[in-house]
Amino acid sequence: MTESMERRGEHNTAETAGDIGVNGDTTDNGGTTGDTTDEGIGSPTGNSDINNDTAGNSNDNDRIDRTQRRQIGRQIAALAIPTFGQLIADPLFVLIDTAVVGHIGRTALAGLSIGSTVILTAAGLCNFLAYGTTSSVGKLMGAGHRRRGFQAGMDGMWLAFIIGMVVSALLFGFATPICIAMGASGEVLTQAVSYLRAVIFGLPGMLLVYAANGIFRGLEKVRITLVAAVAGAVFNTALDFLFVFGFGWGVAGSGLATFAAQWFMGIFLTVPVLRWARQCGASLKPRLSGIGSVAGDGIPLFVRTLALRVCMVATVVLATHMGTAVLAGYQAVNSSWNFVLNMLDAIGISGQALVAVEIGAGHRRRAKGLTSIAARAGLWGGIAIGVALLAFGALSAPLFSPDPQVQVLIRAGIVVVAVILPLSGWMWALDGILIGAGDYTYLAVTCLTITGVYLPAVLMLGWAQSRWHLDGTVSMVLLWAVFGAVFIGGRSIANGLRTRTDQWIHQISQ
């Protein structure tokens, strides 16, 4: 124990000296007290109650009483609401596009389903930009190293921009073969490529949003991300109606509206990051070592997300082979699913922030108690959202398509999604906590395993549909039922088994 403390002391001394050498002063290493008074840059504001409780409660055997449970529930809600705003941007844009394009026709809606799946997959694979930046910025800010915290954030921003530009160029050039590989043909292919090429260069803007969100989470200043999401949604909706119905640009107009909204949000969040980084003395220039470090830390999360996205793409490909009507209905249901899923993810992210405090303080029993509270919050959140989604599906199907057949399929799919949402909420809460604990390798391995089970299940469903020519409604129900049973069910088992042990706690406490 003494040797470990001495090593930490040597490390901190060297770190302090390094900062003095870079800055010429000691302000960057001034300690937590100096940072908490700097409201304009990086004051921790979100967890004061739980920190006070932890500070006065050093006994690891202490349990969380009923009053504390209610307090923690309120803290989760207070963090989850603005966090939800920073998560919904891309799915909300696609949901708006779906509602508008659905009134052009089922072919346009089917093309949007293919094109939006490509862009959401590309963006989703880069969510490590938010998770990784949150961790690095939060740790450095907590240690009082503001300049280095913002420097880490700037490295993430540069990586986001570089990845966005490279991926956008590749997807623009290979848009047609990619959409063909996903099963699009004929007029659906034309619509899919048109949407994808119109929206794709908005990806760098959205990835900047991801990296900036990580910085704001690390600073515990998440309200600005909610403002950005609301403003972006309003801007996207206005441009959607103008470009699609006013100018008559069709599905390409919808893509251009989303392109503009993505860059609007990216600039909206990047400007304050640049201003605060400059105030702290961080370099705004790209640093290859820093960019490489952020990229390396994100590899396990990238593998995890890649496995999950393969499952989602496989589902879209199967829907494509079930017919245009099923694909159009699937797009509406999937857009709704992506939207409500971010509500559940916001609960998970809020829970992981509170659990990390207790793990860092060595209070493992309390950390597991908080994990249980967060999981129940996800469960009850899933129940509440599922009930709301049932009502939404019954009333909103005409908003997505005037086609009566597509409306029936939308209602059928939403019923299945609503049923699996409680389990989804419980699973996603645990998923967020494991990410916060740094248990990336376990998540990557389990997601790869589940993908290996899910893909054969999708192939079997496709074979059954072509063998017995299943009705469109039956196909839609089975499509989402297999997704819920294998994809959600499998991940629930994996996450539940992991959190019953203490191994995930050791990932961050070592």
- Give the model confidence (pLDDT) of 289-333 as tens digits: 888 877 777 788 888 888 888 898 888 888 888 888 888 888 889
Q: Where is pLDDT greater, at 30 or 431?
A: 431
Residue 497 vs residues 431, 501, 503: alpha-carbon distances, Å: 12, 7, 11
Give the per-residue pLDDT at 264: 95
Give the per-residue pLDDT at 47: 40
Q: Where is pLDDT greater, at 67 or 455?
A: 455
Give the per-residue pLDDT at 215: 81
Give the per-residue pLDDT at 396: 80
- Going by pLDDT thresholds of 50, 70 and 90, the confidence category of residue 132 is low
Q: What would the mean pLDDT of 276-282 be, rounded to a whole number?
A: 87
Give the per-residue pLDDT at 163: 92
Q: What would the mean pLDDT of 390-418 be, rounded to a whole number?
A: 87
Instruction: Please check whether residue 47 is in contact with residue 220, taking contact to mean a CB–CB distance below 8 angstroms.
Output: yes
Q: Where is pLDDT greater, at 113 or 194?
A: 194
Q: Where is pLDDT greater, at 286 or 136?
A: 286
pLDDT surpassing 60 at residue 419: yes
Q: What share of the chain has pLDDT > 70, as a percent?
A: 79
| pTM of full prediction above 0.85 | no
- Going by pLDDT thresholds of 50, 70 and 90, the confidence category of residue 497 is very high
Instruction: Please check whether residue 436 is in contact with residue 358, taking contact to mean a CB–CB distance below 8 angstroms.
Output: no
Instruction: Please check whether residue 382 is in contact with residue 424, taking contact to mean a CB–CB distance below 8 angstroms.
Output: yes
Indicate the Cα dihedral angle 12, 14, 15, 16, nearest 10°.
90
Write out the H or E segment, with its range, that includes residue 253.
helix 250-279
pLDDT surpassing 80 at residue 352: no
Residues 182, 321: Cα–Cα separation, whole Å: 9
Residues 483, 416: Cα–Cα separation, whole Å: 10
Q: Which of 47-51, 93-97, 362-366, 389-393 has the highest mean pLDDT?
A: 389-393
- Going by pLDDT thresholds of 50, 70 and 90, the confidence category of residue 142 is low
Domain ranges for the chain, please list them: 81-297, 299-510
- Going by pLDDT thresholds of 50, 70 and 90, the confidence category of residue 502 is confident
Instruction: Please check whether residue 430 is in contact with residue 438, taking contact to mean a CB–CB distance below 8 angstroms.
Output: no
Q: Where is pLDDT greater, at 152 or 41?
A: 152
- Going by pLDDT thresholds of 50, 70 and 90, the confidence category of residue 83 is confident
- Going by pLDDT thresholds of 50, 70 and 90, the confidence category of residue 353 is low
